[in-house]
Chains A and B, each alone.
Chain A
Amino acid sequence: MDVGIVVFPGSNCDADTYHVVRDVLGHRAQYVWHEERTLDGLDAVILPGGFAHGDYLRAGAIAATSPVVRALRAYAAGGGVTLGICNGFQVLLEAGLLPGAMRPNACGEFRCECVHIRVERTDTPFTCALAAGEVLRLPIAHAEGNYYADPPTHRALLAGRQVAFRYCDASGATGPGANPNGSHDAIAGVASPTGAVVGLMPHPERASEGLLGGEDGRRIFDSLDRWVAARPPAAPAARAGLEVR
């Protein structure tokens, strides 16, 4: 499996993600600089956490104008598998590749702690090795993770099964006490309608080895592994960009 890890000026979880993909999972990983104009040939693209362009204007807003995000639109339109983690999720929202927007945390503080999230959708490349309702314990570290969707967008999210993860307590119950940032409907992660593009605020790459206090994050990468292995190879005609009827 070939995984591209996008690097924006200010990304700071790119090396952690690279380490997990290459050293923990044993796949090929490559950094993709934000000025790259193609993502062809990659089995998956990951937008890592950090503070791309210093989070100036809004988190992810400047990064969303990058050449690599233009390439990502084409990649995603062709069914390309994409994961946005934390700041990467914010970039996907600002780019319009996932619906909704991030507000500053309701508590007014940067939150850096372990939280629980409940798996809500299992037919995506990043959740297919998980069970619906399963609870993962993952770290968060963000100041703008307060997910917002206006009522029509929220209705569309529910109708399209686009909520991938919700914040919850250890037993899987949602509620104000288990919502670290005030996210609407406790939404911690969102998927595109097909599920090929997923974004989440918690950091699975920081919880993929026992040494780091937890391996729940590895389940998300294991899902990708399973998904890519099960995927039929692209037909030669499709690979060449020819129309197939």
Chain B
Amino acid sequence: MTDVRTPEARTVRVVVTLKPGVLDAPGQAIRHGLDALGHGGVRAVRAGKYFELEMADDGRPDGGGLEERVRQMCEGFLANTLIEEYRYDIV
């Protein structure tokens, strides 16, 4: 995670994908599509979702609890952690 920030806002990029082992039917369908278009050699596709959040930052050295807030949003809403995992970076 880099430590470059504007005084007021931080951009948070969140990626949510199905957990390994949870059947990813859209990912498989996309792989078949690539195959049909002649793009051989694609062994697997994992489909997912991408979110960019513009977050207010109160400028505290620790990010004002920003990371904790992002984790709460991911755990409670952006990802269904029964079947999905998430990763994020704050830029």
Taking a contact as CB atoms under 8 Å apart, the answer to whether B18 and A108 are in contact is: no
On whether the beta carbons of A150 and B25 are closer than 8 Å, the reply is: no
Set B23, B28, B80: member contacting A58, Cβ < 8 A: B80
B77 is contacted by which of A65, A146, A150 (Cβ under 8 Å)?
A: A65
Bound form: Cα–Cα A100–B22 in Å: 13
Q: What number of B residues sit within 8 Å (CB to CB) of A?
A: 13
CB distance from B33 to the nearest CB of A (A): 11
Q: Give chain A residues whose Cβ lies under 8 Å from the Cβ of B22.
A: 103, 148
For A61, list chain B residues within 8 Å (CB). 77, 80
Give complex CA distance A148, B80 in Å.
Answer: 12
Contacts of A20 in B (CB 8 A): none
Whether B80 lies near A108 (C-beta < 8 A) is: no
Contact B25 A146 (CB under 8 A): yes
B29 within 8 A of A: yes
**Can you list the 6 inter-chain pairs with the closest CB atoms, starting with the nearest?**
A101-B82, A104-B25, A108-B25, A108-B29, A101-B83, A101-B80
Contacts from B to A (Cβ < 8 Å):
18, 22-23, 25-26, 28-29, 49, 77-78, 80, 82-83
A-B residue pairs in contact (CB < 8 Å), sample of 17: A57-B49, A57-B77, A57-B78, A61-B80, A101-B83, A103-B22, A104-B26, A105-B25, A106-B25, A108-B25, A108-B26, A146-B23, A146-B25, A148-B22, A148-B82, A148-B83, A182-B23
